[in-house]
Amino acid sequence: MKTIKILALLMLSAAVIQAQNYMIYFAGTGASATVDSVKIENLSQCTSLTIGGADILNLSSVTGIDQNIDVSLNFVNIYPNPSPGYFTVEIESASDNNVCIGIYDILGKSILKQNKFLKKGYRKFNIDGIPKGIYIFKVESDLYQYSSKLISNAVSEKVPEIKTVESMEKPDIQKDLNETAETKDSKGGKSLISMLFNAGDTLKLTGKSGNYRTISMLFPNQDQTVTFNFVNCTDADSNHYAVVQIGSQIWMAGNLKTTKYRDGSVILNVTDSATWGSTTAGAWCDFLNDPAEGAYYGHLYNWYAASDSRNIAPLGWHVASNAEWNIMEKFVDNTVDTTALGGTGAEIGRILKEGCNTRWQYYDSTAGWNSAGFTALCSNFRNSSGAWSLAPNNNHDDSFWTATHYNANMAWSKSFRWCACDIFSIFNFNRAGSSVRCIKDN
Instruction: Summarize pLDDT for 134-160 with one digit per residue, the tens.
Output: 888 888 877 666 777 788 888 888 899
Average pLDDT over residues 76-95: 81
- Identify the band that residue 420 occupies on the pLDDT scale cut at 50, 70 and 90: very high
Q: Is the pLDDT of residue 104 over 50?
A: yes
Dihedral sign computed on CA atoms, order 374, 380, 382, 383: positive
240 or 21, which is more confident: 240
Fold of 2-227: Immunoglobulin-like (2.60.40)
Q: What pLDDT does 3 receive?
A: 36
- Identify the band that residue 169 occupies on the pLDDT scale cut at 50, 70 and 90: low
State how beta strands 21-30 and 56-60 pair.
antiparallel
Decide: 412 and 424 in contact? Cβ < 8 Å: no
| Residue 57: closest CA among 228, 238, 180 | 180
Q: Please state the separation of Cα 155 from the chain's center in Å.
A: 37
Residue range(s) occupied by CATH 2.60.40.1930 in the chain? 2-227
Q: What pTM was estimated for this model as a whole?
A: 0.71
- Please state, in angstroms and rounded to a whole number, the distance separating the CA atoms of residues 355 and 56: 26
Dihedral sign computed on CA atoms, order 342, 346, 351, 354: positive
Question: Hey, is 360 helix, strand or coil?
Answer: coil
15 or 293, which is more confident: 293
* Each residue's pLDDT tens digit, 278-287: 999 999 999 9
- Please state, in angstroms and rounded to a whole number, the distance separating the CA atoms of residues 437 and 190: 36
Q: What are phi and psi of 384, to 5 degrees?
A: -70, -15
CB atoms near residue 111 (< 10 Å): 14
* Each residue's pLDDT tens digit, 180-224: 444 444 334 567 888 888 888 999 999 999 999 999 999 998 889
* Each residue's pLDDT tens digit, 310-368: 999 999 999 999 999 999 999 999 999 999 999 999 999 999 999 987 888 888 899 99
Decide: 114 and 162 in contact? Cβ < 8 Å: yes
- Please state, in angstroms and rounded to a whole number, the distance separating the CA atoms of residues 123 and 378: 44
Distances (CA, A) of 407 to 341, 424, 430: 15, 19, 10
